[in-house]
Structure 1
Amino acid sequence: MGIPHFLVIPYPVLGHVNPLMQLSEALTKHGCKITFLNTEFSHKRANNAGAELDNLKESGIKFVTLPDGLEPEDDRSDHEKVFLSIQSNMPSLLPKLIEDINALDAENSITCIVATMNMCWALEVGHKLGIEGAFLWTASATSLAACYCIPRLIDDGIIDSEGVATKKQEFQLSLNMPMMDPADLPWGGLGKVFFPQIVKEMKILELGEWWLCNTTCDLEPGALAISPRFLPIGPLMESDTNKNSFWEEDITCLDWLDQQPPQSVVYVSFGSLAIVEPNQFKELALGLDLLNMPFLWVVRSDNNNKVNSAYPDEFHGSKGKIVNWVPQRKILNHPAIACFISHCGWNSTIEGVCSGIPFLCWPFFSDQFVNRSYICDVWKVGLKLDKDGNGLILKGEIRKKVDQLLGNEDIKARSLKLKELTVNNSVNGDQSSKNLEKFINWAK
């Protein structure tokens, strides 16, 4: 019997690629072999951003690629298009790729496929070839629980068969979980294609022996209790560097942070997907100007963010630094950071929690609204930014909430306590490490 050989397949967005890379690094430390499948487009983009992926071979991670079926000039920010193209092109190419990989090292052929959401077709392909399957859920366990409970939510009349909320009242998935607004369910704002897809993927998931979650028992005990199959192995924090970034990281901001007083900088980043509309962008710029403190603001310059380049004429920005992309974990752990204005994507949420930084919550879509309710109502380590009648977060609201957050010693204390709880959890001997070990022993 050879060593466990995992073929890992992330959906090509950073929120899936990064946690799967962290899991891969954890597995290689336990002597496993990893073949990491990127789309050709993503792989090229990461290498162009300076990711140096081929240098990871020494650590036991080898990269392979398949085409996503789109043309190079197609807009990859149209996720419906990317998703449908992958679905119709990649599944038929995967068996041949597996055959080629196995031919190179017959003794250590692929023993298990690990996929993220939207790539579960790979578990079906593996199943037909007699290869075991596992699944890494890259969002919160609460959003997995919501997807898992779709049949019940339909039976209870909370949503209809298309995933649309039927009434406005809040509900609980289980007694020890926070109240949820039906409008905030994880498929909200993702377009009509994704709900039937989630329903389909939850069925395919039955083929996966393991459902791994990047969370801890302390962060989401109620959600994890919904099914014994949900296995917390987080926080996945193997390495500090982001080896798979799609954009070049601006490391000059670390030198700039070194010049700032402790806990004096407001850090603003909305992750790799969210797009801020022009009017909202102007309010945000002016709101940051109103703060009497330095700010570090990430404004992605990829093609889907052209709308963002319109800074208002009256914007000075003299106290701040605006960058295209950053090594976020290093930023959040920098002593100069005071708070994090975040879209509440799960990776950013986990990174903020593990850094002990208070949040100002600005969710856009998907599971970000549920994550906000954990940050503000359950863990109480942040505040929400409220929209006005036109759906805008105004500059005055930004200033008011930053002042409120930074003046709140209880939130700061709770943030540090939650950090201690979560980071200690990833030190050997806790539940997450035991679960990961259980998974590796099964693979062996």
Structure 2
Amino acid sequence: MSRPHILAVPTPAQGHVIPLLEFSQCLVKHGFRVTFVNTEFIHKRVMDALQEQNYIGDENEIHLANIPDGFEPWEDRSDLGKLCEKTFTVMPGKLEELIEKINREEDEKIICVIADGTAGFPIQVAEKMKIKKAAFWPAAAASLKLLYDTQNLIDDGVIDNEGTPIKNQMIQLGQNMPVIHSSNLIWANIRQGLATQKKIFDFFYKITKAVKVADFLICNSTYELEPEAVKSVPNILPVGPRLASNRQGNAAGNFWPEDSTCLKWLDQQQPNSVIYVAFGSFTVMDKIQFRELALGLELTNKPFLWVVRPDIADNANEAFPEGFQDRVAKRGKMVDWAPQQKVLSHPSIACFFSHCGWNSTMEGLSNGLPFLCWPYFADQFIDEGYICDIWKVGLKLNKDESGLITREEIKSKLDQVLGDEQFKARALELEETAMKSVQEGGQSNKTYNNFIEWIKA
């Protein structure tokens, strides 16, 4: 029997592949077939990690395909400016060729393209090929509101035409929405220089145009968590939080093999006792800051599980303070990468020390956890604003005069988050709110079902 065939295209970054793959796995349960298209480089990373989990896409009716990204093998894909340039020059033609090939060779032709809104180009390809097109926004609705408001920021003299902040000021994104500093606008905190910032700013202009021509704009958020943001972005429809835990499945799409030994370690810890420390796939820090973080965790005298990516600092495994690993051996566990959703739902976790990426934010909230926030770049400062100022389920860290987050500051804030029952109580309320939304009769669930009907129509 012929199934409706969907093409899903994420942005080539860890925090974008996971939520769209999660969403694709939800679609499969409704009888859809999904071809999931990564770049060749990301496809190899995902496949290498999947082998470690014994997870094969085809068993779940998801076929993992790939297209070239335009980079030479030796080029640096962490150069975000170059990635933005190649996204709109090389990849559209390659994606069009892939769709034509599928439609030529297979009975189940592509009837809809679902693309990460921050990729942009697949929407334009679908428009050109007259295929149904939906944008999937994997971040907060507030972050899209900010992108839509860039012309206002230029007109108000906050930024220039290239996105560079002119005024040193706080910006209110909207009523009951986060306030962020002008230096922390999504494109302004990328840390790769002004030339890259300009390319990223131009890129965001292109993707907002692409998102606006999508037939459907869905968001991995909930109306209840961001009512003002959802109301202020035309046509955005929240269907989140879409998580593996909602469907009792395994998360997929990781770029690193997960170290599941940490789950057995967590089984041996007291309930509500462990600090989970994980800063996503992009955060990097110098050795001085890395050591302060380690010493701060040591000072708390509490059990902790710390995800230490090999590239989080230069020679991360050699960057630990002398004797640190021996001193914390009985209460600290370090892993390269963790099965995060399973960790966050474990009863021994007490709080989430996070970079505030939107996936992590949704996963932490969906498990009723308070946060300590360490945003690094892009939209993470918006998410920190929600966590600390709007929802009041976490705390921010302050830097000293030299720009360092000290061990004493880390200990002090962790003690506050863990010692104040109000944080936990509010987090549990938000968990209930988020989970109700995706359950039968909830607002996100109704929106999701409408989306399914639209594709099938």
Please confirm whether the aligned pair reaches a TM-score higher than 0.5, indicating the same fold: yes
Q: Tell me which of 171, 193, 201 is aligned to 1:195.
A: 201
Q: Tell me which of 412, 423, 431 is aligned to 1:419.
A: 431
Q: Match for residue 419 of structure 2? A: 407
Between the aligned residues of both structures, percent identity stands at 47
Q: Match for residue 279 of structure 1? A: 288
Q: Structure 1 residues 169, 86: CA separation in 2 closer, same or farther (over 3 Å shift)?
A: closer
Q: Tell me which of 313, 316, 329 is aligned to 1:308.
A: 316
Contact 1:277 1:307 in 2 (8 A): no
The secondary structure found in structure 2 opposite 1:101 is helix
In the TM superposition, residue 53 of structure 1 has moved relative to its aligned partner by: 8.4
1-side partners of 2:163 and 2:435: how far apart? 36
In the TM superposition, residue 307 of structure 1 has moved relative to its aligned partner by: 4.5
Q: Tell me which of 314, 317, 321 is aligned to 2:328.
A: 317
In the TM superposition, residue 99 of structure 1 has moved relative to its aligned partner by: 1.2
Matched, 1:158 2:170: no
2-side partners of 1:305 and 1:280: how far apart? 9
Q: Which moved more, 1:266-275 or 1:314-323?
A: 314-323
Contact 2:118 2:137 in 1 (8 A): no
* Aligned 1:3-402 pairs, distance under 5 A: 3-51=3-51, 55-106=56-107, 108-190=108-190, 191-238=197-244, 239=247, 240-302=249-311, 305-309=313-317, 310-315=319-324, 316-318=327-329, 319-402=331-414
Q: Structure 1 residues 6, 67: CA separation in 2 closer, same or farther (over 3 Å shift)?
A: same
User: Can you give the 5+ residue segments of structure 2 that lack an aligned partner in the other structure?
Assistant: 191-196
The secondary structure found in structure 2 opposite 1:306 is coil
Contact 1:54 1:63 in 2 (8 A): no
2-side partners of 1:181 and 1:76: how far apart? 28
In the TM superposition, residue 438 of structure 1 has moved relative to its aligned partner by: 1.2
2-side partners of 1:105 and 1:144: how far apart? 36
Q: Which moved more, 1:8-17 or 1:236-245?
A: 236-245
Contact 1:53 1:244 in 2 (8 A): no
**1:359-381 deviations in whole A, cap 9, x for unaligned?**
00011111111111110111000
Q: Which moved more, 1:265-274 or 1:190-199?
A: 190-199
2-side partners of 1:368 and 1:361: how far apart? 9
In the TM superposition, residue 118 of structure 1 has moved relative to its aligned partner by: 4.1
Matching residue's letter, 2:43:
H
Contact 2:274 2:302 in 1 (8 A): yes
In the TM superposition, residue 203 of structure 1 has moved relative to its aligned partner by: 1.3
1-side partners of 2:54 and 2:103: how far apart? 21
Contact 2:46 2:254 in 1 (8 A): yes
Question: Structure 1 length as normaliser, TM-score?
Answer: 0.95
Q: Which moved more, 1:342-351 or 1:97-106?
A: 97-106
2-side partners of 1:246 and 1:176: how far apart? 35
Matching residue's letter, 1:102:
N
Aligned length: 442
**1:89-142 deviations in whole A, cap 9, x for unaligned?**
222222221111112323x31111111144211211221111121111111111
User: Can you give the 5+ residue segments of structure 1 that lack an aligned partner in the other structure?
Assistant: none
In the TM superposition, residue 2 of structure 1 has moved relative to its aligned partner by: 6.0
1-side partners of 2:321 and 2:134: how far apart? 48
1-side partners of 2:118 and 2:229: how far apart? 21
Q: Which moved more, 1:175-184 or 1:94-103?
A: 175-184
2-side partners of 1:15 and 1:53: how far apart? 21
2-side partners of 1:177 and 1:399: how far apart? 29
Q: Structure 1 residues 178, 14: CA separation in 2 closer, same or farther (over 3 Å shift)?
A: closer
Matching residue's letter, 2:316:
N
**1:12-51 deviations in whole A, cap 9, x for unaligned?**
1111101101111111111122110011121111121235
Q: Structure 1 residues 336, 53: CA separation in 2 closer, same or farther (over 3 Å shift)?
A: closer
1-side partners of 2:279 and 2:413: how far apart? 17
2-side partners of 1:153 and 1:21: how far apart? 34
Matching residue's letter, 1:92:
G
2-side partners of 1:222 and 1:213: how far apart? 14
2-side partners of 1:56 and 1:387: how far apart? 44
Q: Which moved more, 1:378-387 or 1:150-159?
A: 150-159
Matching residue's letter, 2:221:
T
Matching residue's letter, 2:66:
T
Matching residue's letter, 2:338:
V
The secondary structure found in structure 2 opposite 1:341 is strand
Matching residue's letter, 1:317:
V
